[in-house]
Amino acid sequence: MKTNKTMKVVIIGNNVAGTFTAQNLRSLNEDIEIEIYTEEQYPYYTRIKLPELIPEKVTLDSMIVFKEEWYKTRRINLHLNKKVVNIDPKNKTILFGNDSEPVGYDKLILALGSTPNIPPIKNAREMKDQNKGVFTLRTIDDALKIRDYLEKFSVKKAIVIGGGLLGLELANQLKDTNLETTVVEFFPRLLPRQLDEECGAMLKKEIENRNIKVVLNAATEEILGNAKVSGIKLKDGRIFEAGIILIQAGIRLTIDLAKNAGIKTNRGIIVNEYLETSKKDIYAVGDCVEYKNQVYGIIPACMEQSKIVAASVIGSKRVEYQGTTPKNTLKIVGIELTSIGTIDPSKEETGGWEILKKADKEDCCYQKLILKDNKLKGAILFGDNKALSYVYKKMEEDVDKEELRKLLELYIFVCNNCGMEYDETKMNTVFEDLPADFKCPGCKGSKDDFKKKE
């Protein structure tokens, strides 16, 4: 074992988690040797802009966040095109697929990430592997392959299987290349993990307004076609034609390398609050991690974990990982949508939950704040981001309900005749959107009988 001064840290994986762990390690310690191995051929790039690479709205070069110089100045040695096929925890080495020598480590960090999930749809995997027009989007190379295929076969119609964030962002970019685009979603609403039913319906309308067809409750049974894809068949028998199929149906955490080395895994690589795995001197960070039965798959989790794992590796275990609050923003120009934390208290076991909601269907605006014991626990903000910075700042903190009411511009309207209150925070419709023939439930007076309570 080398002394701490020359400790050699090896990181496998060079995306957000691996790269920021290396950066944090270097800022904590000037002397350690840092080696990163990745099977990809590019230095660190952000996956966020991948859908935009298909219609060439961004260049490949602009996708690369850290160029060679960045690694050089930090003395981080990056090894591209190096797939690790085995870990030997006993001898503290990693091995590669070709004849190259094993590489030793003092500390090993697994930043292996995840890959797109392919649901059990007949022909999906085969047609993807045989390049017959079924694709997933995870890497720069995936985006380039999709672009080539669209050009080569002058594709006119696309189907995206999966109405989650990535599916919708991808569909939006495909539609911008003049493809007739359809999104098929297994669940009865779009973004099933980030939205409730009501907001899901509003989003569907907005997506359809952008000329993207949406099919819900759609279980894809089979990909159709021989030499290349021609469409899909749903379990209910409906058939949709398409020249390309893109599957964006969640992720699968990359665990096999760890599992084969005897490291404890479940859905992900199991870690403790210091991001240590079950094997000494081996750590894991980012998408590949499972912490207290939770997996994340989002950049904020990678960033938080990368600080903690770096500190753990150099032996300063001051900060414990507490999990990351899920935060998601839909990145489609003209649609403001953020979902954060708990969005459906009905699924929680404990009580004390309260919802403040503004649903303005006319203006396609939905604001829902979820409180528990007066602490802000989650929010859906659609169509208006006014409350966003407040929500980010106040998550998990006590809130003043009057302040929230003002922030969301929610009002109480009082019937002049009988005193009946119409409290917008508790209703599905804002007062303005009520029909002209609305009758006061107390005295049957008209809408004009109501005045805003000051």
Ligand X SMILES: Cc1cc2nc3c(=O)[nH]c(=O)nc-3n(C[C@H](O)[C@H](O)[C@H](O)COP(=O)(O)OP(=O)(O)OC[C@H]3O[C@@H](n4cnc5c(N)ncnc54)[C@H](O)[C@@H]3O)c2cc1C
Q: Per rule CB under 6 A, is residue 83 in the interface with ligand X? A: yes
User: H-helix or E-strand containing 61?
Assistant: helix 60-63
Give the residue closest to ligand X by C-beta: 113
SS3 115: strand
Stretch that binds ligand X, among 109-117, 153-161, 316-324, 402-410 (CB under 6 A): 109-117
d(Cα 213, Cα 227) in Å, to the nearest integer? 26
| Minimum distance, C-beta of residue 46 to ligand X, in the bound complex (Å) | 7
- Among 206, 276, 287, 360, which residue interacts with ligand X (rule: CB under 6 A)? 287
Residues in the chain: 454
Residues 328 and 381 sit within 8 Å (Cβ to Cβ): no
Q: Per rule CB under 6 A, is residue 167 in the interface with ligand X? A: no
Q: Nearer Cβ to ligand X, position 135 or 413?
A: 135
Stretch that binds ligand X, among 97-105, 237-245, 297-305, 414-422 (CB under 6 A): 297-305
Q: Nearer Cβ to ligand X, position 287 or 360?
A: 287
Six-digit token string for 144:
């380039």
Q: Nearer Cβ to ligand X, position 111 or 371?
A: 111
> What are the helix and strand counts (H, E) for the chain?
12, 28
Q: Nearer Cβ to ligand X, position 110 or 440?
A: 110
Q: Which residues pair with 233 in a beta bridge?
A: 222, 239
Q: Per rule CB under 6 A, is residue 218 in the interface with ligand X? A: no
Q: Nearer Cβ to ligand X, position 48 or 239?
A: 48
Total site size for ligand X, rule CB under 6 A: 34
Q: Per rule CB under 6 A, is residue 299 in the interface with ligand X? A: yes
DSSP string, 296-317: --SHHHHHHHHHHHHHHHTT--
- Among 7, 10, 11, 17, which residue interacts with ligand X (rule: CB under 6 A)? 17
Residues 120-159 close enough to bind ligand X by CB under 6 A: 137-138
Q: Nearer Cβ to ligand X, position 14 or 182?
A: 14
How many of the other CB atoms lie within 10 Å of CB of 148?
Answer: 11
Residues 317-356 close enough to bind ligand X by CB under 6 A: 331
Q: Per rule CB under 6 A, is residue 18 in the interface with ligand X? A: yes
Q: Cα–Cα distances in Å, from 136 out to 50, 143, 405?
A: 11, 9, 43
d(Cα 325, Cα 392) in Å, to the nearest integer? 11
Rg of the chain in Å (alpha carbons): 25
| Minimum distance, C-beta of residue 75 to ligand X, in the bound complex (Å) | 21
Six-digit token string for 83:
């797939």
DSSP string, 141-187: HHHHHHHHHHHHTT--EEEEE--SHHHHHHHHHHHTTT-EEEEE-SS
d(Cα 204, Cα 215) in Å, to the nearest integer? 10
Stretch that binds ligand X, among 13-21, 193-201, 378-386, 409-417 (CB under 6 A): 13-21
Q: Nearer Cβ to ligand X, position 29 or 339?
A: 339
SS3 92: coil
Q: Per rule CB under 6 A, is residue 308 in the interface with ligand X? A: no
Q: Per rule CB under 6 A, is residue 111 in the interface with ligand X? A: yes
Q: Nearer Cβ to ligand X, position 245 or 299?
A: 299
Q: Per rule CB under 6 A, is residue 369 in the interface with ligand X? A: no
Stretch that binds ligand X, among 1-9, 98-106, 111-119, 234-242 (CB under 6 A): 111-119
Q: Which of 422, 394, 424, 427 is nearest to 409 (CA)?
A: 424
Q: Per rule CB under 6 A, is residue 207 in the interface with ligand X? A: no
Q: Per rule CB under 6 A, is residue 113 in the interface with ligand X? A: yes
d(Cα 370, Cα 165) in Å, to the nearest integer? 21
Q: Per rule CB under 6 A, is residue 50 in the interface with ligand X? A: yes
Q: Per rule CB under 6 A, is residue 298 in the interface with ligand X? A: yes
Residues 112 and 285 sit within 8 Å (Cβ to Cβ): no
Stretch that binds ligand X, among 107-115, 388-396, 432-440, 444-452 (CB under 6 A): 107-115
Q: Nearer Cβ to ligand X, position 140 or 440?
A: 140
Site string for ligand X, 230-269 (x = CB under 6 A): ------------------------x--x------------
Q: Nearer Cβ to ligand X, position 84 or 183?
A: 84
Q: Per rule CB under 6 A, is residue 114 in the interface with ligand X? A: yes
Q: Per rule CB under 6 A, is residue 13 in the interface with ligand X? A: yes
| Minimum distance, C-beta of residue 77 to ligand X, in the bound complex (Å) | 14
Q: What share of the chain is helix, strand, coil (3-state, %, to 5)?
A: 30, 30, 45
SS3 102: coil
Q: Per rule CB under 6 A, is residue 166 in the interface with ligand X? A: yes
Question: Which single residue is written with the structure tokens 């760890």?
Answer: 258
Q: Cα–Cα distances in Å, from 221 out to 124, 224, 225, 238?
A: 10, 10, 13, 10
Q: What backbone phi and psi angles, to 5 degrees, belong to 137?
A: -125, 110
Question: Which single residue is written with the structure tokens 């995840």?
Answer: 114
How far is CA 339 from its chain centroid? 11
Which residues bind to ligand X, rule: CB under 6 A?
A: 12-18, 37-40, 47-48, 50-51, 83-84, 111-114, 137-138, 166, 254, 257, 286-287, 297-300, 302, 331
